């Protein structure tokens, strides 16, 4: 099997003054650490495969399609063989071109994205991929490892006896009563996949399910504790490309263990770095004997009662705070996408030996990741979320009657569980 691997990376740090988190928080005033897009091109199958992870909050709808198309063209493949994810840091860009076009009619709403910066990222990304493919190396072996992560992830939702969400724990808290609540349902494992040329590592993928924010909203651009841990690992051996893929973390955050301070950020980075190191302790490379890629598509209907005129009225209401004007513009983008019937959301799966990476849209609940592990007990499974962010939060169907923040912010009816699960089954079935 003649496989080759072409790692790539390019800077995606926004300029000073650029909107962060869709314009809901303070715009960029300084850069604490740069944002990067990191990935690889896998060559030697029917057509190349591209996997990329951006240090951005989200990439939605037509922006996601446009980015995948640009990278596909650069790699000489098709968009359905490109998966792009965001890590989901919040002091970072949140790109929805459709919503940006809607709010551009209103001078009192800050732009979601600087289009010149966006185009520059597309062009530099394509050029970087093309250069990387010229220096690709043989890919012969794969290795996997995992470790329990200590004191990071915790569930955000707590139910009362009637089965309704009555307490909610965000990314950080100094409320002792929230800190005292249990971790709740999480996936405690950080998983690492290493691609090698013989015994020499080329790329390491690290995968873990949690919101990646220690604190945000101060205008200081950062890849946060996830980026700090990733870069620290890269400094150990700069010859290896490390990328991080956020798991199904829609209802998972470090709130139990994070007080939202600069020290908390460093502590979380230390714990994540320690888990990365531990996951690599017993790596045992094996020759690549089988490899496959599958993709499927779906769309799901917007929530009941969602109406374009009402959304436009809310967007135009100057008395509303920015989140309650920009978010409806993103919701309107999904409504129009559903009504048009295109483009669908792509779900995909890369399988190499017993490793399987499943690529999902939006802010999926951790239950989707746990389902994958249960469905494929003999495989080493990565449930990678934060692909196309068009649907926003994606709870499982059972969580819709419980209410709570994530359900209120979800753009789709609960049938999205069945729709996406069907697509997942298509890409993981033999």
pLDDT, residue 1, reads: 75
Q: In whole angstroms, what is the distance from residue 251 CA to residue 171 CA? A: 10
Given this model, what pLDDT does residue 45 score?
Answer: 93
Q: Are residues 168 and 404 in contact, defined by beta-carbon separation less than 8 angstroms? A: yes
Give how far the C-alpha of residue 356 lies from the chain's centroid of Cα atoms, to the nearest Å. 17
Structure confidence at residue 294 (pLDDT): 98
- CA pair distance 402, 386, nearest whole angstrom: 23
pLDDT, residue 148, reads 98
What whole-number distance in Å separates Cα of residue 314 and Cα of residue 109?
12
Neighbours of 47 (CB within 10 A): 14
CA angle 157–214–333, rounded 5-degree value = 65
What integer pLDDT is reported at residue 430 of this predicted model? Answer: 75
Distance CA 387, CA 367 (A): 17
Q: Give me the helix-helix angle, 415-428 and 366-375, nearest 10°.
A: 40
Strand order in the sheet with 49-54: 82-86, 49-54, 36-43, 3-11, 137-139
Alpha helices in 237-345 (DSSP H): 262-279, 308-315, 323-340
Which regions of the chain are under pLDDT 70? none
d(CA 111, CA 163): 40
Cβ 51 vs Cβ 83: under 8 Å: yes
Alpha helices of 158-261 — where are they, by DSSP H? 176-180, 224-236
What pLDDT is attached to residue 422?
Answer: 98
CB 374 within 8 A of CB 345: no
Residue-wise pLDDT for 59-74, tens only, equals 999 999 999 999 999 9
| The pLDDT of residue 68 | 98
């Amino acid at each position: 099997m003649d496989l080759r691997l072409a790692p790539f990376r390019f800077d995606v740090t926004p300029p000073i003054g650029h909107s962060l988190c869709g314009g809901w928080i303070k715009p960029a005033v300084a850069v604490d650490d740069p944002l990067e897009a990191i990935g690889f091109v896998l060559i030697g199958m029917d057509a190349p495969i591209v996997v990329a992870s951006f240090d951005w909050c989200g990439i939605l709808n037509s922006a996601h399609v446009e980015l995948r198309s640009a990278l596909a063209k650069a790699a000489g493949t098709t968009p359905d063989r490109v998966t792009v994810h965001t890590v989901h840091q919040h002091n970072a860009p949140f790109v929805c071109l459709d919503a940006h076009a809607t709010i551009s009619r209103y001078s009192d709403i800050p732009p979601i994205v600087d289009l010149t910066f966006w185009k520059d990222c597309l062009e530099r990304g394509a050029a970087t991929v093309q250069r990387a493919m010229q220096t690709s190396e043989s890919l012969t072996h794969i290795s996997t490892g995992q470790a329990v992560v200590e004191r990071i992830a915790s569930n955000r939702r707590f139910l009362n006896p009637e089965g309704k969400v009555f307490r909610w724990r965000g990314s950080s808290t100094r409320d002792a009563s929230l800190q005292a609540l249990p971790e709740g349902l999480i996936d405690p494992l950080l998983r690492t996949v290493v691609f090698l040329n013989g015994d020499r590592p080329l790329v390491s993928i690290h995968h873990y399910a949690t919101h990646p924010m220690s604190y945000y909203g101060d205008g200081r651009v950062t890849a946060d504790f996830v980026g700090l841990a990733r870069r620290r690992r890269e400094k150990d051996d700069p010859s290896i490309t490390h990328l991080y893929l956020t798991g199904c973390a829609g209802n998972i955050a470090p709130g139990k263990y994070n007080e939202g301070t600069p020290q908390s950020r460093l502590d979380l980075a230390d714990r994540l770095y320690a888990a990365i190191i531990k996951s690599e302790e017993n790596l045992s490379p094996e020759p690549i004997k089988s490899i496959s890629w599958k993709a499927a598509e779906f769309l799901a209907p917007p929530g009941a009662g969602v109406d374009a005129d009402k959304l436009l009225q809310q967007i135009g209401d100057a008395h509303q705070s920015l989140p309650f004007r920009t978010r409806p513009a993103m919701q309107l983008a999904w409504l129009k996408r559903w009504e048009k019937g295109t483009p669908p959301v792509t779900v995909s799966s890369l399988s190499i030996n017993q490793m399987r990476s499943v690529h999902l849209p939006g802010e999926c609940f951790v239950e989707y990741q746990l389902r994958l592990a249960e469905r494929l007990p003999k495989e080493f499974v990565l449930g990678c979320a934060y692909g196309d962010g068009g649907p926003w939060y994606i709870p499982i169907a059972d969580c819709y009657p419980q209410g709570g923040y994530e359900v209120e912010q979800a753009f789709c009816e609960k049938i999205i569980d069945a729709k996406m699960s069907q697509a997942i089954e298509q890409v993981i079935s033999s």
